[in-house]
Amino acid sequence: MSMSFLSYFISGMSLGSIYAIIALGYTMVYGIARMLNFAHGDIIMVGGFAIFTLVSSLGVSPLIGVLAAVAVCTVLGITIERVAYRPLRGASSLAVLITAIGVSYLLQNLALLIFGSNARQFTSVVNVPNLKLAGGQLQISGETIVTIVVCIVIMVALTTFINKTKIGQAMLAVSEDRGAATLMGINVDRTIAITFAIGSALAAIAGALLCSTYPSLTPYTGSMPGIKAFVAAVFGGIGSIPGALIGGLLLGVIENLSKAYISSQLSDAIVFSVLIVVLFVRPTGILGKKITEKV
């Protein structure tokens, strides 16, 4: 295996880890609230600008900047759920989808008004030295190492949280049968709000890692990663947490290897083509389950 291939593969794993963290937000909200939050990608952008403002403009330490961005995005996620989505709880999925797109454009345009359209140079929040292997022939950036480690830690923590805590069990109950969960005394609205809070906090972490790896920040920064993370969630089986991890990693590796060996212009088209092929072969995604509609 050549060193260049290994380098592209590891970079793909890093990019895939970012997609996986973003995809978790999509997959949790869909699994529990049965809705697609297309404003999720823009929450990443808000997290990026929160860190940029605090770290680059105000000189706050990177760790405090990331924690503050997590707090800002968590509050934003809860607010969006309360104001935009909760009144539509009994509405059609089309109405919810249109609202989500509206929220996405609102966040983008607010960022344009506040920060303008010029790209900002983002200062990396990762302070880990590059790792040199094979006598310096293979160099892995500190951002890549931190991104992969953070993704694994989040995945383990989230799985433990859902399987071992009372709130996690409530989330599982709501995702299984909302009506039965209500009869069991579970507060469905509160459970969905917590799900949005967790997804939005993860979006802030993904924003920090994304902007540290690709240090350019605009009001549209979260759009394409958001769409690709949604593809990753569908790829792995939307509603499945391990599926989000597998889908994200596969997508990142396919995209990076396509850029390196086929064409950087065609890499996005290749990613979406692979999704189409996977859905032809397995419509529920890699780890998705068939849902039986109750009549």
Give the Cα separation of 236 and 285 in Å (integer): 5
Judged against a pLDDT cut of 70, whether residue 290 lies above it is answered with no
Backbone angles phi, psi at 132, to 5 degrees: -105, 125
Judged against a pLDDT cut of 90, whether residue 176 lies above it is answered with no
| pLDDT tens-place string over residues 269-287 | 888 888 888 888 888 888 7
Give the Cα separation of 258 and 235 in Å (integer): 17
Contact 146, 17 (CB under 8 A): no
| pLDDT tens-place string over residues 135-148 | 667 888 888 999 99
Contact 248, 20 (CB under 8 A): yes
| pLDDT tens-place string over residues 209-230 | 999 988 889 999 989 999 999 8
Domain boundaries in the chain? 16-222
Judged against a pLDDT cut of 90, whether residue 198 lies above it is answered with yes
- What is the pLDDT, as a whole number, of residue 267? 86
Q: What percent of the chain has pLDDT over 90?
A: 47
Helix, coil or strand: residue 86: helix
Give the Cα separation of 27 and 35 in Å (integer): 9
Give the Cα separation of 142 and 240 in Å (integer): 29
Distance between the two ends of the chain, CA-based, in angstroms?
54
Judged against a pLDDT cut of 60, whether residue 85 lies above it is answered with yes
